[in-house]
Amino acid sequence: MAALEQTFAGAVAPPPGAMPATTAKIEARGVNVRYGDKPALIDVDLFVAAGRVTALIGPSGCGKTTFLRCLNRMNDVVDDCHIEGVIAIDGRDIYAPGVDVELLRARVGMVFQKPNPFPKSIYDNVAYGPRIHGLARSRADLDALFEASLARAGLWDEVKDRLDAPGTGLSGGQQQRLCIARAIAVDPEVILMDEPCSALDPIATAHIEELIAALSGAYTIVIVTHNMQQAARVSRYTAFFHMGRVVEAGDTEDIFNRPADARTRDYVAGRFG
């Protein structure tokens, strides 16, 4: 993604107490978001380390998804959405003038709550991104990239004999893995997941969680989830959002077992939310 990096403005100096520059992949500082006159995020500071899974938890309407959508500028398409502050990837502001948003969204892939395969074949779903971004020089290269992406998503063995079948004909869990394969086919650095298992049954959910574990390390993953058990299982770092603010963030084990804030303790204990 060198082309994207060339569009970024100058590096952002880390604030006091930030993660070392060698580990911080994403830095959000003083982020405020409002829709019209309604605040959605208030003075959010959050740092996401490279190569690990970070979970965003909190009650409905607390700002988790708004923050997630800021990380690949999906809020740009929302009318009357205003964003202030700094969000940087690898120390460079993604809201700086001149940033190519299309390339940013290739670098920062997203998997949505409801599986959303294109109304195309399984092959064309995964091959779409590499084609438009020119990542394959030949059909053989595209075929290899396609197979590798499906294999990494744990789907190749299940669909290799019906690659021309429509992606929409797969089961819900398979569709979600197809969407993950589609995301990783463009070689992103970050994968955002917005409640990726909320529409799936327990077996499909287990497959997705296993896939997240397999992908962690190779990718920086940020997941929004209402499922406390899921957050505890898949993440190494957790941020608790409440009423548009980050109340507490830290190692997942500490957030769930030794929270410093009473609101965090009450939320993870199920007293509200």
CATH number of the CATH domain containing 6: 3.40.50.300
CA proximity to 105, closest of 146, 74, 128, 68? 74
Angle separating helix axes 172-184 and 139-152, nearest 10 degrees = 130
pLDDT greater than 70 at residue 151: yes
pLDDT greater than 50 at residue 6: no
Give pLDDT tens digits for 176-191: 999 999 999 999 999 9
d(CA 241, CA 249): 9
The confidence score (pLDDT) of residue 154 equals 93
The confidence score (pLDDT) of residue 148 equals 96
Q: Is residue 220 within 8 Å of residue 50, measured between CB atoms?
A: yes
d(CA 192, CA 148): 20
In a domain, 167, yes or no: yes
pLDDT greater than 60 at residue 5: no
* Chain center to CA of 133: 20
pTM: 0.89
How do strand 92-93 and strand 81-89 relate by DSSP bridges? antiparallel
Total domain count, the chain: 1
CA proximity to 109, closest of 179, 206, 214? 179
The confidence score (pLDDT) of residue 20 equals 45
In a domain, 100, yes or no: yes
Give pLDDT tens digits for 48-91: 999 999 999 999 999 999 999 999 999 998 989 999 999 999 99
In a domain, 273, yes or no: no
Give pLDDT tens digits for 107-140: 999 999 999 999 999 999 999 999 988 888 899 9
In a domain, 169, yes or no: yes
Angle separating helix axes 122-132 and 172-184, nearest 10 degrees = 20
Give pLDDT tens digits for 203-259: 999 999 999 999 998 999 999 999 999 999 999 999 999 999 999 999 999 999 999
Domain of residue 166, residue span: 2-268
Q: Which two tokens stand for residue 194?
A: 């917005």
Q: Name the percent of the chain in helix, strand, coil, to the closest 5.
A: 40, 25, 35
The confidence score (pLDDT) of residue 204 equals 92
**What are the start-end ranges of the H helices in the chain?**
2-7, 64-70, 101-107, 122-132, 139-152, 156-159, 172-184, 202-215, 228-234, 252-257, 262-268
The confidence score (pLDDT) of residue 7 equals 38
Q: Is residue 85 within 8 Å of residue 44, measured between CB atoms?
A: yes
The confidence score (pLDDT) of residue 199 equals 87
The confidence score (pLDDT) of residue 272 equals 85
pLDDT greater than 70 at residue 19: no
In a domain, 165, yes or no: yes
pLDDT greater than 50 at residue 142: yes
In a domain, 86, yes or no: yes
C-alpha distances out from residue 123 to 54, 142, 155, 219, Å: 30, 10, 12, 23
Q: Is residue 99 within 8 Å of residue 66, measured between CB atoms?
A: no
Confidence of residue 18 (pLDDT cuts 50, 70, 90): very low
CA proximity to 254, closest of 242, 229, 236, 241? 236
As a whole number, mean pLDDT of residues 144-156 equals: 95
Amino acid in the structure at residue 8: F
In a domain, 23, yes or no: yes
In a domain, 174, yes or no: yes
d(CA 140, CA 53): 33
